Structure formats: structure tokens, C-alpha cells
Amino acid sequence: MSIYSIYATKRSGHHAFIEWLCSGLSGNWVYFNNCKIYDGEIRYAVIESDFNLPGLEKNKPGLLSEALHTIGPDVEHLILSYENVDYENCCRCFFQEKQFRKHFGDQFRIVFLRDFFNSYASLFSWFERYKKEEAPVKALDEFKKCWGGLVSLYLKSGDDGFNSDGAKLVLPSFNEFSFEDNYRAGLAKKLNILNSDVNKELSLFGGGGNTFFDDKKNYTPSQEKLESRWKLVLDKEKFFDSIDEATLFNARSFAYFLNRPELFDIPERELSKKSGVDSESST
């Protein structure tokens, strides 16, 4: 049984990655979406799989440990995704499933991150579009905390590697994965999967992905659009006011780590202009 654990923030595009991952697996798989830690146990929101799961309701939340007992050890690939959660805490909780450890084969911890300004703007816009309200401070703070924690893994590791328990740490980014064929080919090799195409039509499953899980959206977003989400919130004072210096430092470090300085420099320049205008108007 190979294990793929994906750690991301909301609005990172990681569901597109997960659908690509599933489409490249050989053998049956089960995917637990949006896992969270409650009272030291992992709970999931919904399940997807490429085979029938007697005794489990796919759209009903549940305990991971109970679902694993129902499924049994014969499934070939297990995929779990976590959004806006503490990375270390999730690692500790999952590997307490001792009764299944003897069945574990390759173990991958995949930290999937999107550049800060565009993922943060996407979250901000999502609340306005679907909730008809401004993004609450709690949601913004939760996002920044998780993004900062995950980006530290990139900056600390510098590259893929191995955790102390033998799990392989893989560090893809949305900005490279979505638009670079050669990058996906190399990533597929690291993950021991086939490199299937990324369908340009996005589904609504989990907020993103291709048509693998049906219910597709009716547009094809370009790289320019996906990397210009920050422009949609230029007039939102709360968006800029909520970005602190530590987050700016991490956002810059990540963009430069990707060799894509424009992902930080251009929106930060606009942020500086706006801050200057606000400062002048208040004097």
C-alpha cells in the first residue's frame, strides 16, 4: 500500500494536482479529502475511489481509522489531503495507525503550495463570490499561518528529501505544476506514477482539478489569469491591510525560490503604491 499525503492551503490548486496524481496511478486507490485532526484523530470530509466501497458512504464525513478497517489492507494506493492544518501534527496522527503500518509501501509527503499573493487573493475573492461577504479575519489568519508553516519546509529543505520515518518529502508548486510539461514529467517519476495530461477544464470537485471527478466548469483559465488573481482585489483595503511583514518576507522568499520574482515584485509594488496613497490621505 503506497501512501500519498498532500498538505496545502485552501485555494492552492492542489485538487488539480490530486486528480492528476490519481489518473497516473496503476492499481486501485482511495482518496480521503479534506482531512482534519479532532481530539488526536484524523477525520475526513468525503471519499473518492476507483472501485466500490461496501460499508462506506462516500459523501459522509468519518474517522479515517474506522474507514481503513472497513476498506482493509488490500487497497494499493491511499491518498489523503489536508487543508490549512498543522503539518507536523498531521504526520504524527497518521502514523499512529500501527495496525496498518506493516502494509505500508512507499510513503510520500507532498507539500503543494501556490504563490502567496494569488492564493490569498483567490481565498479573499471566494468569500465574496460564494459567501457574499468579506473574508473573515479568522479565515485569513488561518490561511497565513498555514502558508507560512508550509513555505518554511521549502525554504528549509531547499529540495525534495526524506523524513526521519522514511517518508519521501516532495515539494511541488502550483505555479510550476500547472504550466510546465517537463516539470510534471519529472514529478511523476519522483512519485512513481504515469505522467498523464492535465485537463484544462476545471471541475468543481474540492474547488479545482480537471474533469476526472466530473462537474466541470465552463472556462479554461490561462496562466496569465491564474497568476493575476491579486488584481481582482486591488481595491480591497482589507486585503492589503491584513498582510504583515513576516508574511511579505515569506512571500518574497518563495517567489525567488521558484525563480519567479515577478510573482512577488509586481503585486508588492502595487501594495506599496496603495500604502503610500493611504499614508498621504491620512496626513
Report whether pLDDT(212) > 60: no
d(CA 41, CA 32): 14
Please tell me the predicted confidence (pLDDT) of residue 215: 45
Mean pLDDT of 33-61: 88
Model pTM?
0.87
pLDDT tens digit string along 92-143? 776 555 556 666 788 899 999 999 999 999 998 888 777 777 778 888 999 9
Angle in degrees, 0-180, between the axes of helices 116-126 and 262-281, rounded to the nearest 10:
60
**Looking at the predicted structure, is the pLDDT value of residue 271 above 70?**
yes
Q: Which of 54-63, 159-168, 254-263 has the lowest mean pLDDT?
A: 159-168
Domains and CATH numbers, the chain: 2-281 (3.40.50)
Comparing 99 with 71, the larger pLDDT belongs to 71
pLDDT for res 38:
87
pLDDT at residue number 256: 96
Rounded distance between C-alpha atoms, residue 210 and residue 224, angstroms: 18
What is the structure's pLDDT at 182?
Answer: 94
Q: What is the 3-state secondary structure (H, E, C) of the chain?
A: CEEEEEEECCCCCHHHHHHHHHHCCCCCEEEEEEEEEECCEEEECEEEECCCCCCCCCCCCEEHHHHHHHHCCCCCEEEEEEECCCHHHHHHHHCCCHHHHCCCCCEEEEECECCHHHHHHHHHHHHHHHHCCCCCHHHHHHHHHHHHHHHHHHHHHCCCEECCCCCEEECCEHHHHCCCHHHHHHHHHHHCCCCCCCCCCCECHHHCCCHHHCCECCCCCCHHHHCCHHHHHCCCHHHHHCCCHHHHHHHHHHHHHCCCCHHHHHHHHHHHHHHHHHHHHCC
In the chain, pLDDT over 70 holds for what percent of residues? 82
pLDDT of residue 93: 75
Nearest by Cα to 148 from 245, 221, 233: 245
pLDDT in tens, 38-50: 888 889 999 988 8
According to the model, what pLDDT value does residue 101 have? Answer: 64
Query: For residue 179, is pLDDT > 70?
Result: yes
User: Could you report the per-residue pLDDT of 191-210, keeping only the tens digit for each?
Assistant: 999 998 776 554 434 444 33
User: 105 burial class (0-12, 13-18, 19+ CB within 10 angstroms)?
Assistant: exposed
Question: Residue 280 — very low, low, confident or very high, per pLDDT cuts 50/70/90?
Answer: very low
Task: Decide which of 257 and 283 is more confident.
Answer: 257
Q: What average pLDDT does the segment 74-84 reach?
A: 92
Residue type, 56: L
